[in-house]
Amino acid sequence: MTDAIFPLVFGSEELRLLTAIGLGFLFGFSLERAGFGNARKLAAQFYFHDMTVFKVMFTAILVAMVGLYSLSAIGLLDMSRMWINPTFMWAQIIGGFMLGAGFIMSGLCPGTSVVSAASGRWDGLVTFGGIFVGSFLFAVFMDWFPALGSLYNGGSLGESVLPTLLNVPAPLFVLGVVVAAGAAFIGAEKVERIFQQRHDPVELAPKQTWQTPRYKFAIAGALVVVALIATGATAPSLERPGQPMREMTPLELAQEIIAGDPNLVILDLRPSSDSTAGIPGATRVASDSVVQQLLSSAGAAARVVVYDDAGSLRLTVQGWPRDLDYRHLTGGLVGWRSEVVTPAEPTGYGTEEREFIAWQNQIAAFFSGAAVRPSTVAAPPVIAGGPKKKKKKSMGC
Amino acid sequence: MKAKPYWNPYLAGVLLGLTLLATFLIAGQGLGASAFPKRVLATVGNEIAPEWTAANPSLGIYLEDDSNPLRNWLVIEVVGVMLGGLLGALSAGRFKATVEKGPRISRNGRLMYAAGGGVIMGFAAALARGCTSGQALSGGALLATGSWAFMMMVFAGGYAFAYLVRRQWT
């Protein structure tokens, strides 16, 4: 049981959305300063005389990859809560090739066209406009040609990552990518030098002082060291346990508690050092034997909900009675506090959203009220299902 | 004012990588760009032809949860990218209303190419469920299988067609 603090859990979606402005700003600023607002500089990548695209992109991938896998290895990051691009092999192979063709025509990719347009370039603005048209054409073609739909969903591997697919320990794979990229950087510098004799580099190339090999090798060295530390740590696992436990959302659990289901068993698996109050009716358990005792006396119809602090729990139910209905609480106690105990702020989106919030607040009142004034617990509010809230999708690029 | 030089590519890469890492740690997802056009299209489509949009396999997914498709992390992030790009260009003395092209092509010819490339990329990004930012960069850092296949094919596509469009650049 690790206490993974990343990815951060936000009290409200608004707060999470707010981070997008700052992080987007840094993204756009770095792209601009790298020279990616200039179509000529990007296009030069494909004529070998300015390999900036390759160098910037792979350095960024290395830094983020080493960071992700190291933090995951030492237990600070829970990869199972990360949104990982699902693999659709055929769609991504064909789409990638097409995007490359569009890239060299425009001299820009979708992200850099935004930066290019923002820095005043008409070709950037026109490219960005073209992307809207292309996305629309895709939507229309999906209706007209069923074959496109099969391509779109072709070669699905789900949330597949290369170390798992190739059965290589993740730290070793990460280290391999770092070494391979280091070799590719040296190659890119050589290629550039050969081709720059025939073409002038795109204007405003960085000054030579920054390009001393010492500087480059310092960065490469630092990355390798971090990768080695990651190798020493335990291998991160992206896989769900063999017999995965299904999830139950805090609001679902709240309804079950209010309904007073006698077969409901709630297990609090937080470390005993955490002395804050848990979910009403939960049993605090310290060891596996206590759990087994409790569960064997619970009867066959028992429905078991487990939670820890932040929902980072991933348990196999090995050793526990197999035929019970196990769930783990989405977001753990943190999720419970933010979704159930804290009243929701009205955001003013449509009647359904308001109904949902009113319903959520009814639940919040029940639990916070019951905890504060135990003598005045009235009849539980009539909570019949409530409007359904669907899982948020974050798809696309 | 003379424009400041571009950053060293490795330094720019490190800063970009740290931004990407921070995004993963804070938001639980990567950076992206092509969700913005699709979500705008879903919003506009929902106004003009709600039934068609909701039933469309490419756009309908953004309307499923009944909330505003623009109330999304990636959409707000692209607004941040615009601001970051603008401030980056202004502060480097690089903001200029112009068209980037080689000497052998007309301004309008270059803009035609740019628009055509944009259309192809819009289609391709919708098909691949992401572009160079969401797939190659973000998915690449996660070591997602499809993202690496995508990335290799982007470079392959670029090099394959570079000779045909060289008139634009050199």
Q: What is the pLDDT of residues A230-244, one digit of tens each?
A: 665 544 444 434 445
B105 at interface of A, judged by CB pairs closer than 8 A: no
pLDDT at residue A207 tops 60: no
- Chain B residue with the nearest C-alpha to that of A38: B100
8 Å CB contact of A64 and B162? no
Q: Is the confidence at residue A197, as pLDDT, over 60?
A: yes
Nearest-neighbour CA in chain A from B133: distance (Å): 6
CB contacts, 8 Å: B169 with chain A: 40, 43-44, 47, 107
Which residue of chain B comes nearest to A166, CA vs CA? B145
The pLDDT value given to residue A239: 42
pLDDT score of B73 more than 90: yes
Partner-chain contact A32 B94, CB within 8 Å: yes
Six token digits for residue B12: 């720019």
Chain A environment of B95 (Cβ under 8 Å): 119-120
Of all residues in chain A, the one with the smallest CA distance to B124 is A95
Cα distances (angstroms) measured from residue B11 to each of A56, A69, A198, B5, B136: 8, 21, 26, 13, 19
**Higher pLDDT among residues A298 and A373, named by residue:** A298
- What letters, b where the CB count within 10 A reaches 16 and e where it falls short, cover A3-18? ebbbbebbeeeeebbe
pLDDT at B32: 95
pLDDT in tens, A343-370: 776 666 677 777 777 787 888 888 776 5
Task: Give pLDDT, residue A147.
Answer: 93
Q: Which residues of B touch A352 (CB under 8 A)?
A: 66
Rounded Cα distance between B24 and A68, Å, is 8
Determine which helix (DSSP H) or strand (DSSP E) holds A4, and give its type and residue range.
none
How far CA A224 is from CA of A22, A80, A221, B144, in Å, comes to 29, 25, 5, 21
Please report the number of interchain residue pairs, chain A to chain B, with beta-carbon separation below 8 angstroms.
604
Rounded CA-CA distance A178/A68 in Å is 14
pLDDT digits (tens, 9 = 90+) for A168-187: 999 999 999 999 999 999 99
Query: What's the average model confidence in pLDDT over A29-33?
Result: 97
Give B159's contacts in chain A (Cβ within 8 Å): 46, 100
In order of A23, A55, A135, A391, B89, the CA distances from B23 in angstroms are: 7, 21, 25, 21, 23
Residue A212 pLDDT greater than 70, yes or no: no
Q: Are A299 and A321 a contacting pair, CB within 8 Å?
A: no
Q: pLDDT at position B91, please?
A: 95
Identify which of A84, A79, A85 has the alpha carbon closest to the alpha carbon of residue A238: A79
Structure tokens at A273: 């050092």
With contact defined as beta carbons under 8 Å apart, do A68 and B21 qualify? yes
Does residue A96 surpass a pLDDT of 70? yes
Return the HEC string of B60-89.
HHHCCCCCCCCCCHHHHHHHHHHHHHHHHH
Say if the Cβ atoms of A110 and B125 lie within 8 Å: yes
Q: Quick check: B119 and A130 in contact, CB under 8 A?
A: yes
Q: Over chain B, what is the mean pLDDT?
A: 94
Chain A residues with beta carbon closer than 8 angstroms to that of B138: 64, 85, 397
Secondary structure (H, E, C), B90-127? HHCCCCCCECCCCCCCCHHHHHHHHHHHHHHHHHHHHH
Q: Are A101 and B157 in contact (CB < 8 Å)?
A: yes
Selected for mutation to probe chain A from B1, B10, B112 (highest A CB count within 10 Å) is: B10
Q: Is the pLDDT of residue B142 over 90?
A: yes
Q: Which amino acid, one-letter code, is at B59?
A: L
Residues A224 and A230: their CA atoms lie apart, in Å, by 10
Dist. CA A266–CA A281, nearest whole Å:
7
How close is the nearest chain A Cα to the Cα of B54, in Å? 11
Tell me what the mean pLDDT of segment A73-96 comes to: 93
Give chain B positions within 8 Å (CB) of A154: none
- In the predicted model, what is the mean pLDDT of chain A? 80
pLDDT at B148 over 50: yes
Q: Which of B16, B98, B150 sits opposite A60 (nearest CB)?
A: B16
| The pLDDT of residue B170 | 80
Percent with pLDDT over 90 in chain A: 40
Partners of residue A61 in chain B, C-beta under 8 Å: 17, 137, 140-141
Can you give the pLDDT at residue B27? 95
- Indicate yes or no: CB of B21 within 8 angstroms of CB of A122: no
Q: Which of B65, B83, B169 sits opposite A393 (nearest CB)?
A: B65
**In chain B, positions 36-65, which contact chain A (CB-CB < 8 Å)?**
36-41, 45, 52, 56-59, 61-62, 64-65
Residues A32, B139: C-beta atoms closer than 8 Å: no
Q: Tell whether the model's pLDDT for residue B109 goes beyond 60.
A: yes
Strand A325-329 and strand A303-307: the pairing is parallel
Q: Does position A294 have pLDDT exceeding 80, yes or no?
A: no
ipTM over 0.90 threshold: yes
Q: Which of residues 115-144 of B touch A (CB under 8 A)?
A: 115-144
pLDDT at A34 over 60: yes
The pLDDT of residue B128: 96
Average of per-residue pLDDT across B74-90: 97
pLDDT of A36-53, one tens digit each?
999 999 999 999 989 999
A206 to B9: CB separation less than 8 angstroms, yes or no: yes
Q: Are A123 and B159 in contact (CB under 8 A)?
A: no
The confidence band for B77, taking pLDDT boundaries of 50, 70 and 90, is very high
Q: Please state, as a whole number, how many other Cβ atoms lie within 10 Å of the Cβ of residue A215.
A: 14
Q: Which residues of A touch B30 (CB under 8 A)?
A: 83, 85
Q: How far apart are the first and last CA of chain B?
A: 27
Q: Are A58 and A199 in contact (CB under 8 A)?
A: no
Of A26, A81, A227, A214, the residue nearest B18 (C-alpha): A26
Instruction: State residue B2's pLDDT score.
Output: 75
**Is B21 in contact with A64 (Cβ distance < 8 A)?**
yes
- pLDDT (0 to 100) of residue A224: 74
User: How far, in Å, CA of A279 to CA of A367, rounded?
Assistant: 9
Which tens digit of pLDDT belongs to each residue from A53-62? 999 999 999 9
Residue A372 clears pLDDT 70, i.e. is over it: no
Taking an 8 Å cut-off on Cβ atoms, the answer to whether B132 and A92 are in contact is: no
- What is the per-residue pLDDT for B143? 96
Contact B130 A85 (CB under 8 A): yes
Helices of type H across A83-211? 89-106, 110-118, 122-144, 146-152, 162-165, 170-196
- Range of A212-226, A246-260, B116-130 with top mean pLDDT: B116-130
pLDDT for the residue numbered A393: 44
How close A235 comes to chain B (CA, Å)? Answer: 15
Q: How far is A350 from chain B (nearest CA, A)?
A: 8
Which has the higher per-residue pLDDT, A13 or A220? A13
Does residue A213 have a cis bond before it (omega within 30 degrees)? no
Vertex B7: Cα angle to B3 and B8 (nearest 5)? 140
